[in-house]
Amino acid sequence: MVFRYPLRKVKIRDGRKWLSLIKEEREMFMMKICPLCRTEAELSDGSPLEEDKTGREFVQCPVCGRYDYSKEWNELEKFNKDHLMSYLVYNGIHKAGDCRYYTTKSKEWCDKWREEFDHGNIDHGRPIHLTPELVENWYPKTIAERVDRILKYIADNAPHMGSFIQYNGTRMYSVLFVELYEDYGKKFSLDGVEDQASFIVNYLLAEGYIRTDVYDGNFRPYTCIALTPKGYSRVEELERSNSKGREVLVAMKFGEDTNCLRAAIKKGIADAGYIPILIDEVQHNDFITPELLSHIRNSKFVVVDLTHQNNGAYFEEGYAMGYGKQVIQLCRADVTLHFDIAQKNTIIWKTEDEIPERLKNRILATID
């Protein structure tokens, strides 16, 4: 099987192991430095398509995961790099068998090749559109939101309840939302980062949320951190209510024929101040996966479009309701809903153009 991305035709042992490069082909990668976190990473210079001359670079970083951007157009300069680093640490794609990667290529390009991948063409992997707006909508705006995300991250990444986690280099700094860039992202600097990290770690210790192995009040990037019972209780409270969450899971049929609908729903959610999370970007098959369940638990509410009578959408709605999440339903006017959900207040739409405003208004009126 041949896979053209990230650079040239590269043989792989198994199509399911999208990035399992055979040993003879690894010379195409040079050990370089991640342009974001400055960690040693694998970078591929070039483009996924021979006709694409935009000077793209594909990064495989142990901290930031896999992402692609254009060096020629200085696309990383459009982002707040500190915010982007934290976003990629929390949401990045690190698993060897995972076919996804973030890219600054256009949404239309990502939609096309994601659908191609779902139909068996793995030439370009499963791209996820990455924008500054997505990152900024996700980034916590208050200390309280940062604390909640940090606790949830430790709980999700500790191998066992009560286990310590330890990350070297910039990964722990990004987990703690420490700023590593100066002059609006132009200069990477480690000056003062330990003071920033110590501030948040000392707060977590004072609140009784975490414990450390050996700690003298001054944080070091190799400090081991574990949640206390109080920390786990806070995480459980967040998963039950998620009262401060801004993620919204969207369940619908995905494909080229629903791109306009997809964009309209995302806009309505974003305009209401929430972050749309698309099912097809977080799962890879028709099963309810642990990753999907985690997204449902972490969502403030769920938006479901039932126009195409998609079985997956029904499943996701059912699971969301089982977790006590509010569900906002949409359906095209010419579609008859199943009788057991037809009684639920539903946004009935005729054209996609009307969805953003109506969905935004429904969210603002019904979601606390």
Report yes or no: 129 and 8 within 8 Å, Cβ to Cβ. no
Domain boundary among 116, 138, 160: 138
C-alpha distances in Å from residue 322, one per residue of 117, 214, 293, 306, 307: 32, 42, 11, 18, 22
Six-digit token string for 365: 């009126």
Domain count, the chain: 3
Q: What is the CATH number of the domain that holds 291?
A: 3.40.50.450
pLDDT of 242 reads: 59
Q: Count CB-CB contacts under 10 A for residue 24.
A: 8
Six-digit token string for 128: 């996820």
Domain boundary among 209, 241, 273: 241
Name the H helices within the chain: 81-91, 107-118, 132-138, 143-157, 170-175, 193-206, 229-241, 259-271, 290-298, 311-322, 339-342, 355-366
Are residues 131 and 8 part of one domain?
yes
- For 190, phi then psi, to 5°, come to -95, 5
Are residues 260 and 235 part of one domain?
no
Of the candidates 275, 265, 247, 250, which has an alpha carbon nearest to the alpha carbon of residue 332? 265
In b/e form, how buried is each residue of 310-338, taking b as 16+ CB within 10 angstroms?
A: bebbeebbebbeebebebbbbbeeeeebe
Six-digit token string for 305: 């479009």
Q: Give me the percent of the chain exceeding a pLDDT of 90.
A: 35
Are residues 130 and 19 part of one domain?
yes
pTM attached to this predicted model: 0.67
Q: What is the CATH number of the domain that holds 179?
A: 1.10.10.10
Are residues 253 and 225 part of one domain?
no
| 93 half-sphere exposure, CB direction, 13 A CA radius | 24
Are residues 287 and 212 part of one domain?
no
Are residues 100 and 154 part of one domain?
no
Are residues 344 and 220 part of one domain?
no
Angstrom distance (rounded) from CA 320 to CA 249: 9
Domain boundary among 138, 153, 175: 138
Are residues 333 and 272 part of one domain?
yes
Of the candidates 300, 310, 312, which has an alpha carbon nearest to the alpha carbon of residue 331? 310
**DSSP state letter for 307:** T
Are residues 233 and 110 part of one domain?
no
Whether the ω angle into residue 140 lies within 30 degrees of 0, i.e. cis, is no
pLDDT in tens, the chain (368 residues): 333 444 344 444 444 444 443 333 344 445 588 999 999 888 876 544 444 545 688 899 999 999 988 877 778 889 999 999 999 999 888 887 788 899 998 888 887 887 788 778 877 788 888 989 889 888 998 999 999 999 999 999 999 999 998 887 789 999 999 999 987 667 888 888 888 988 999 999 999 999 988 766 666 666 789 999 999 999 988 877 654 568 898 988 877 788 899 999 999 999 998 989 886 665 444 444 566 777 777 788 989 998 987 666 666 777 777 767 888 999 999 998 876 666 678 999 999 999 999 999 999 999 86
Angstrom distance (rounded) from CA 21 to CA 42: 12
Six-digit token string for 265: 């729903």
Domain interval for residue 27: 2-138
Are residues 133 and 39 part of one domain?
yes
Angstrom distance (rounded) from CA 176 to CA 199: 10
